[in-house]
Chain A
Amino acid sequence: MTDSTTAGGPPPGDDRPNPSARRALRRRRARSVAGTLVSLALTLLGLLLVTFIIGRVMPIDPVLKVVGDRATQAQYDAAYQAMGLDQPLVVQFLRYIGDVLTGDFGRSISTGQPVAQDIARVFPATVELAVLGTLIGVVIGVPLGVMAAARRGGIFDQVARVVALIGYSMPIFWLGLMGLLIFYGNLGWVGGPGRQGIIYDGMVPSVTGLILVDSLLAGDWPAFQDAFSHIILPASLLGYYSLAYISRMTRSFMLEQLSAEYIITARVKGLSERAVIWQHAFRNISIPLVTVIALSFGSLLEGSVLTEIIFSWPGLGSYITRALLSGDMNAVLGGTVVIGVCFVLLNLLSDILYRVLDPRSK
């Protein structure tokens, strides 16, 4: 998504001053925004196409899911037509794209409800989990990475390295099972599977879909506590993974900064080590760090599938997986688009941050 070299445009870095430089620059910016949007649209279209094709070659019959085991051939045929499957593939695809453009993602055959409505229900659950996971990753991962870099090669660095590598190496579904067993089953410290204790089900009015936020908005403190006790374990697991990534990246960014000349200068000037690290080096890595955090957030959004399954978490990942296995392609397409859009947007965001904030790339 970074190439601004659209056909015919001047090569990047060609910033020689000339009379119409400003206008050209403005034009190029406009074109680059347009170009980005076009390539964004193309990416999403491709995403849809690939998903669509996979859905059509899949040896799972969506009609059966609708009509069930006992259906007669006539009932089957009626449903087949009602779902538009008798049309040529191209027509089906174009029709689908047309519907999506008008905001209609179709109806899910495994829930019987509009996909848009389903996603509005399940996506916040995933977002809530990913946000908290990333938060944990940042709060612990960043200081860990900074301190590891500051004491490069020391015991602390080694320990941080092992902690991170363990995070990378754990099969999360296994860790989840074990965590549930220990912290819920044996110790009773955290809430069980699901987003809420069952008796809280439906007691907090849904405003944002994020139960933690909704329960606070409603002023329902026990519901908040309950929701928190349920989310903390899966979020910590995701957070551990995120921590591993963030701390490693932080460390390498910091190492790069700490070997830079201005740091040596600062040290020579007699600044305290603490000030050197936090006020100078750390401030300079904040931009790439934001990118890393955004990417990590993105990977939690998509990577929570297994965690959601283990924790009976009613999120987008388990929604898509379930839909996939029952040939519910409208749901799969809708879900994939949402995650795809998020991913593309996060990438775009970090690109923009880079361009806007990083003085070197100007």
Chain B
Amino acid sequence: MTFHLTTRAVMLATALAFAPAAFAETPADTLVVAHTIDDIISLDPAQSFEFSGNDVNNNTYDRLVDFDPLDPEAGFQPALAESWEVSEDGLSITFTLREGVPFHSGNPVRAEDAAWSLQRAVKLDKTPAFILTQFGFTADNVEEKITADGNTLTLTLDKPYAPSFVLNCLTANVASIVDRETVMANEQDGDLGNAWLSTNEAGSGAYELAAWRPNEAVQLTAFEDYWQGAPEMKRVIIRNVAESSAQRLLLEQGDIDVARNLTPTDVQAISSADGIKIEDEPRGRILYMGLNQKDELLSNPAVVEAMKYLVNYEGMEQSFLKGQFITHQTFLPRGYLGVLEEQPWTYDVEKARQILQDAGIEGGTITTRVRDLREYIDVAQTLQASMAEAGLTLEIEQMTGAQVLDAYRAREVPIFLGEWGPDYSDPNTNAATFAYNPDNSEEANAVGLLAWRNAYAVPEEMNEATVAATLEQDTETRAEMYKDIQRQYQAEAPIVPLFQRVEQVGLQQNIQNWWSGGAVTSVIYRQVTKGE
């Protein structure tokens, strides 16, 4: 390694002697990515729930089942589990683990590691734990419900859930398999290694964590003994670059290979540049408008109906959201089982005005609290202008993400404009938050549910339908059930999905097989190659 670095240093010195600043190309075995990664607060897979944290863990850990980055359409695939079998009654699933897979420490990956990892996530009960606990696991029963025997692992569920539902959840980061021996050697005060894993890693993934400097950079190095073969990119550097313009400059100057947060204007400008390509990838995030039913004006169904026509879908899609959001008026993202294709609303101020007039609404003032992100503020301002035409005044309050979230969870945001990202690759992830709210009272304090945050009393039959869809064994029927829920949702819900996020990645021409993780998961680096 030392020798390696010195050679490179000499090469660099020569290059720099001629071009002191602009360095034309990154090394052939190194992938350099610019991204906003200031959201990472922990790298423990049982705790990490931020986009960037998942981006790291998806590469440093393996799960029982995973997506194939070269064929994402195929859905979950065997990974550390070679195969699985569902019992007759649908109440248990038994996985057979692949033999001869090593952790980064050199320890073998065993069924008991896998069982322990899942138990650990349930016991720690950090935010993402619900992805597992929804199958009836609790800290008290998990040792009986998740068991290892030889090279098999058995999950015992509390209800006969759809197998696709369970397996989709096991692709989530919280279900990552960690190296029990290594983690327990670093346990402090019975924390199951939580503190240590927050800044370290003990996985079996294609990459090892070389360094993480918060708000600055993450460095990964290839794991040469990876069971699917060592990745071609020996070093991956993810640098925190907040500004799109900065990312674009870096890309144009050849200082980075991948820019992941380019604005539409920068994408447009860069797409014609030599040696740079743009790849569009629909992600799972839905930009939606939540109309709080605690607000007197908004609780009027006519206002809810009118608001759906006051969004300039096409205008925004064609201007400042161009290429990064596509109009999408249902809560399931494209790429998910059972997504509805119908887009019932268009921008129609006249119609909105008529609806309001028929309902005898003279006008009124509503406040929105918007996170200080460019897109959201622009959307809010556009909405403000079109609402004004229909006689409604929208007051915009700009806040930090934390402040907005705080107010939102306290049901104090009359009109919420923001995004929701799915937590796992099953349709239930969004159905269970948009279309499920069994108790709308203040006391219920169901702060995790979007429906509750908007004080939307989901009708009983919709609640039931949402639950029923998780138990349907037949995948086709399941998809139809979700479509029905979405149709009813479009007809009446005060939470209005507007757009789906598309990630426009700027890449050097020679980068191949980049995959940001689509709608369902996080980025994977191991298949990326660099051509000439």
Q: Which residues of A contact B (CB under 8 A)?
A: 59-61, 64-76, 78, 108-113, 118, 121, 177, 180-181, 184-185, 188-194, 197-199, 201-203, 220-223, 225-226, 229, 309-310, 312, 314, 318-319, 322, 325-327
| Inter-chain contact B214/A110, CB cutoff 8 Å | yes
Contact A60 B243 (CB under 8 A): no
Cβ–Cβ contact B13 & A221, under 8 A: yes
Within the complex, the shortest CB–CB distance from A329 to chain B, in Å, comes to: 12
Quick one: given A65-B402, A68-B49, A191-B21, are A225 and B41 in contact (CB under 8 Å)?
no
B38 at interface by CB-CB < 8 Å:
yes
Q: Is A222 touching B13 in the complex (CB atoms < 8 A)?
A: yes
Contact A201–B41 (Cβ < 8 Å): no
Q: Could you tell me if B241 and A193 are in contact, using CB atoms closer than 8 angstroms?
A: yes
Q: Give min CB distance, A16 to chain B, whole Å.
A: 60
A312 adjacent to B423 (CB under 8 Å): no
Q: CB < 8 Å: which of A70, A177, A192, A225 contacts B16? A: A225
Instruction: Considering the complex, give the chain B residue whose CB is closest to the CB of A189.
Output: B21
Roughly how many angstroms separate A270 CA and B198 CA in the complex, as a whole number? 74
Beyond A69-B405, A111-B41, A314-B216, 6 additional pairs, beta carbon < 8 A: A69-B448, A188-B22, A193-B249, A198-B237, A201-B217, A220-B9
Residue among B16, B32, B128 with the highest chain A CB neighbour number at 10 A: B16
10 tightest A-B CB contacts, nearest first: A111-B214, A188-B22, A193-B246, A222-B12, A325-B400, A61-B406, A222-B13, A229-B21, A68-B127, A112-B41
> Which residues in A have their C-beta under 8 angstroms from that of B239?
194, 198, 201
List the one stretch of B23-31, B80-88, B180-188 in contact with chain A.
Answer: B23-31
A198 in contact with B256 (CB, 8 Å): yes
Contacts A68-B50, A198-B239 given: A192-B210 contact, CB under 8 Å?
Answer: no
Q: B127–A111 contact, CB under 8 A?
A: no
Which residues of B have CB within 8 Å of A220?
A: 9
Asked whether, in the complex, the Cβ of B215 is within 8 Å of the Cβ of A75, the reply is no
Q: Mark B120-143, 1 if CB is under 8 A from A, else 0.
A: 000001111110000000000000
Number of A-B contacts (CB under 8 A): 157
Taking the closest CB of chain A, its distance from the CB of B514, in whole angstroms, is: 17
Known: A76-B447, A118-B214. A59 touches B403 (CB 8 A): yes
Which residues of chain B have C-beta atoms less than 8 A from A185's C-beta? 249, 252-253
A64 interface neighbour in B34, B42, B126, B406, Cβ under 8 Å:
B406
Residues in chain B near residue A64, CB distance under 8 A: 402, 405-406, 409
Decide if B242 is an interface residue (CB 8 Å cutoff).
yes
Within 8 A of A (CB), among B249-271: 249-250, 252-253, 255-256
> Is B491 part of the contact surface with A, judged by Cβ < 8 Å?
no
Verify B49–A312 contact, CB threshold 8 A: no
| A325 proximity list for chain B (CB < 8 A) | 400, 402
CA distance A201 to B130 in the complex (A): 37
Q: Residue of A at shortest CB range from B409?
A: A64
Chain A residues lying within 8 Å of B27, measured Cβ to Cβ, are: 199
B198 contacts across to A, CB distance below 8 A: 112
Query: Which chain B residues border A326 with CB–CB below 8 Å?
Result: 400-402
